[in-house]
Structure 1
């Protein structure tokens, strides 16, 4: 039960952060969102740092599960079209529904991690299915400096997601195709 309650509280914290921003993320706000008695969140996560750590850990877990699901649903990435299709699927999920809410929370946590190395360490998972798929795709296409190109491509895609979270709308497929073409040069 304790583990379930911790997960519920972490999920509620993600929702509070998505709805109210970093200033709105309080133990009381999480209690209300989780429909728990006052003091429940602080009983499980005594400090704001502990609450943020639980939130970020849960966020990364959900993101990695999403990436594994997408990876399992796609064929091996052999062509540019297959890679762009996978990226398109991921960006759409990150911009709609629960994925959008997680994206809003993720970016708030990313800014917060500038001053908190522990959060930053959690936010950058070492085993990332998406990063590995892109890295393998670029490597099999003869790209030099695969690690740098993978990082640059994924950072550009992340920037497009951030832009669309702020400004609205979908990411044009042509933009993703252009990024992939640039990474292959």
Structure 2
């Protein structure tokens, strides 16, 4: 089926991007990675822009599926420590193995999207079960501006993942503790009692 072939090629393009960077992403490189005859990729994605769009669309699909599976595997978050543990698992997944490769591709695409409104629209953070679990956790603790807090928390964690990717390190647990404490801080400047001893 055409849709299966497009998915195969988009996955191969993700691998090429992760291994060779944006300059190495060509139709021929994707053909080789997918072990398909020369010209196959260009038959499905006529231009480089079309190839990038297909790649980014597939990347978002895989990210969304990962976050949905994580949320399903977790019981409703009941404590700061449970939220912390979930964030530790997420950051480790994105810095090791297949998750690391997808992170490399994701950040390369993010840079490209600065000059490409179509890519930027695809990469806009979407609602998913993982994001909703965090939003609900914050809302149940009465924090103000819960949508903004959720966005800022997850964006900051994404920044820590980027730093870990560049430096080759991990995301320190204490850094996550600080971000979660800040997200739960009330507008008076005092922190919720549940955050006083997050570990």
Listed one character per residue, the Cα deviations across residues 73-117 of structure 1 (whole Å, up to 9, x for unaligned) are 111012111111111111111011111110000000001111111
Please give the residue correspondences for 1:6-21 in structure 2 after superposition, counting only pairs within 5 Å: 6-21=6-21
- Partner in structure 2 of residue 168 of structure 1: 168
Pairwise CA distance, 1:169: 1.9
Q: Supply the distance in 2 between the matched residues of 1:70 and 1:99 (Cα, whole angstroms).
A: 13
**Any idea what the Cα deviations from partners look like across 1:146-168, whole Å, max 9, x if unmatched?**
11111111111001000000101
Offset at 1:172? 1.5
Hey, what's the Cα distance between the residues in 1 that align with 2:91 and 2:28? 32
2: CA distance, partners of 1:10 / 1:125: 20
Residue 40 of structure 2 is matched in structure 1 by 40
Q: Give aligned pairs, total.
A: 185
Are 2:73 and 1:73 equivalent residues in the alignment? Answer: yes
Cα deviation 1:48-79 (Å, max 9, x = unaligned): 11101110010011111111111111110121
Instruction: Give the number of the structure whose alpha-carbon radius of gyration is greater.
Output: 2
Question: Which residue does the alignment assign to 2:108?
Answer: 108
**Do the aligned residues in 2 keep the contact of 1:18 with 1:101 (CA within 8 Å)?**
yes
Report the CA distance between 1:179 and its aligned residue: 0.7
Q: Identify unmatched segments of 5+ residues in structure 1.
A: none
State the Cα distance separating 1:125 from its structure 2 match: 4.5
Q: Report the TM-score when normalising by structure 2.
A: 0.90
After superposition, residues 19-58 of structure 1 pair within 5 angstroms as: 19-58=19-58
Runs of 4+ in 1 over 6 A off after TM superposition: none
Report the structure, 1 or 2, having the larger helix content. 1
Q: Is the 8 A contact 1:60 1:125 kept in 2?
A: no
Q: In structure 2, list runs of 5 or more residues that go unmatched.
A: 186-199
Partner secondary structure for residue 114 of structure 2: helix
Q: CA RMSD in A?
A: 1.0
